[in-house]
């Protein structure tokens, strides 16, 4: 990474800010492109340059891309539930914003693009132990559709533009610095509800299983994909381990409100019941080895959110 010029769209957000900090530390010249709708200016590390602009602003995108060797495209509206009502806005940012980036890349000297996709592109596991990249992609949310469509455009047009493309399907990412919203990041949602003396709300039985992967492992895999010499590929980025929503709630309740119980409400349309990554392809091709355990990160995440409550 040392000396490379890297453009990170959405670089002021949760994953983007962790990635940008790691790239700056590695000696890269980093430009963050973010409209700050959910990202924060203070998340941009010293040494990185911020362009405050929208993905639909082709003029600003072309200027940003012109100086880049590698683009990491993280900018997105990231909410499965909210995408069902806001399907137009979801597609406008996630799909049309990506197509605008492709327009900006024409004639550039960018050699590599890494795209942050999502486990939401898959169908439910239907009894499988885990999901492989070759398994069925039948999204049940507007968000998943926009991400899958963006993948296909990037992989198709990357070839015609002469740009190598790595698609990373992130699973449920957690870690310090995740901004609280009612829709994204169940670890953060559960912690904030208990800190605000509200019960944890679980939609459905709670036996649905998720693959929780730390933001640090996600960053390590993303950097590995940036260094990967292949022309095009799709990779799951998860821990490869299953945790039920009930078990997650139990771990957080034990730390913050022993004896409390969760409230169960009706299932939410658009959410996959079970989603655990098969990370074999990323392991063998990218050298990805997830190192972090969910249980080890709950205390620092809780501490960070407690600090925010006192600000």
Q: What is the residue-wise DSSP string for 143-180?
A: HHHHHHHHHHHHHHHHHHHT-EEEEEEE-EEE-TTPPP
**Structural domain boundaries enclosing 304:** 186-208+242-272+298-310
Round to whole Å and give the CA distance between 98 and 153.
8
Strands 49-52 and 70-73: unpaired
- Domain membership of residue 287 (yes or no) is yes
Residue 180 lies in a domain: no
Q: Is 91 left (phi over 0), alpha (psi -120 to 50) or beta?
A: alpha
Which residues, in sequence order, are bridge partners of residue 115? 73, 167
Asked, for residue 179, whether it belongs to a domain, the answer is no
Whether residues 169 and 84 fall in one domain: yes
Residue 182 confidence (pLDDT): 56
Residues 204, 220, single domain; the answer is: no
Domain match, 255 and 280 both: no
Give CA–CA dist 47/20, Å, rounded.
10
Whether 251 is in a domain gets the answer: yes
Low-confidence ranges of the chain (pLDDT < 70): 1, 81, 180-184, 270, 309-311
Say what the pLDDT of residue 184 is: 63
Residue 216: how many other CB atoms lie within 10 Å: 17
Q: What is the reported pTM? A: 0.93
Angle, helix 186-195 to helix 294-310, in steps of 10 degrees: 50
Tell me the Cα Rg of the chain: 19
Amino acid 183: pLDDT: 55
My answer on whether 265 and 119 are in the same domain is: no
Say if residue 97 is in the same domain as residue 220: yes
pLDDT at 305: 82
Q: Which of 33, 88, 122, 143 is catalytic?
A: 143
pLDDT, tens only, 123-138: 887 778 899 999 999 9
Tell me whether residue 88 is one of the annotated catalytic residues: no
Residues 196 and 168 occupy one common structural domain: no
Taking the C-alpha atoms of residue 123 and residue 144, their distance in angstroms, rounded to an integer, is 10
Question: Residue 198: which CATH number?
Answer: 3.90.25.10
Residue 224 and residue 203 in one domain = no
The count of other CB atoms within 10 Å of the CB of residue 79 is 21
Per-residue DSSP letter, 181: -
Residues 266 and 287 in one domain: no
Query: What's the structural domain count of the chain?
Result: 2
> Among 283, 177, 277, 173, which residue's Cα sits nearest to residue 225?
283
Distance CA 201, CA 261 (A): 9
**Whether residue 109 is found in the same domain as residue 220:** yes
Residue 135 backbone phi and psi in degrees, to 5? -75, 170
Inside any domain, residue 263: yes
Alpha-carbon distance of 67 to 7, in angstroms, equals 8
The CATH number covering residue 34 comes to: 3.40.50.720
Pairing of strands 209-210, 243-244: antiparallel
**In the prediction, which pLDDT does 296 show?**
86
Residue 95 placed within a domain: yes
d(CA 44, CA 25): 13
Chain segment 179-224, per-residue pLDDT in tens: 766 556 889 899 989 999 999 999 999 999 999 999 999 999 999 9
User: Does 169 fall in a domain?
Assistant: yes
DSSP SS3 for 282: helix
Q: Is residue 181 part of a domain?
A: no
- Measured N-to-C along each axis, helices 294-310 and 245-256 cross at an angle, to the nearest 10 degrees, of 50
CA–CA separation, 8 vs 303, rounded Å? 28
Same domain, yes or no, for 64 and 200? Answer: no
Residues 268 and 279 in one domain: no
Q: Which residues contact 194 (CB under 8 A, 6 or more apart)?
A: 200, 252, 253, 256, 257, 260
Q: Does one domain contain both 27 and 115?
A: yes
């Amino acid at each position: 990474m040392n000396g490379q010029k890297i453009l990170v769209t959405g670089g002021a957000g949760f994953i983007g800010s962790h990635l940008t900090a790691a790239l700056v530390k590695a000696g890269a010249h980093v430009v963050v492109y973010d409209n700050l709708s959910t990202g924060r200016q203070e998340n941009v590390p010293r040494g990185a340059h911020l362009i405050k602009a929208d993905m639909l602003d082709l003029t600003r995108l072309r200027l940003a891309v012109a100086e880049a060797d590698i683009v990491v495209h993280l900018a997105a509206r990231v909410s499965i539930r909210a995408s069902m009502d806001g399907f137009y806005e979801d597609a406008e940012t996630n799909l049309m914003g990506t197509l605008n980036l492709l327009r900006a890349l024409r004639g550039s000297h960018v050699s590599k693009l890494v795209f942050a996709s999502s486990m939401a592109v898959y169908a439910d596991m239907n009894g499988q132990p885990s999901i492989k990249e070759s398994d069925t992609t039948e999204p049940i949310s507007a968000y998943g559709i926009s991400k899958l469509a963006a993948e296909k455009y990037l992989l198709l047009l990357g070839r015609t533009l002469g740009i190598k493309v790595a698609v990373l399907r992130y699973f449920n990412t957690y870690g310090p610095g995740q901004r609280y919203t009612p829709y994204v990041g169940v670890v953060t949602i559960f912690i904030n509800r208990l800190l605000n003396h509200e019960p944890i709300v679980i939609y459905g039985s709670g036996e649905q299983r998720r693959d929780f992967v730390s933001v640090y492992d996600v960053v390590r895999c993303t950097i590995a994909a940036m260094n990967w010499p292949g022309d095009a590929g799709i990779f799951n980025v998860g821990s490869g381990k299953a945790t039920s929503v009930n078990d997650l709630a139990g771990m957080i309740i034990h730390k913050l409100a022993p004896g409390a119980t969760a409230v169960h409400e009706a299932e939410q349309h658009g959410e996959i019941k079970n989603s655990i990554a098969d990370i074999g392809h990323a392991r063998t091709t990218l050298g990805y080895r997830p190192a972090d355990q969910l249980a080890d990160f709950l205390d620092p995440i809780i501490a960070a959110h407690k600090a925010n409550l006192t600000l």
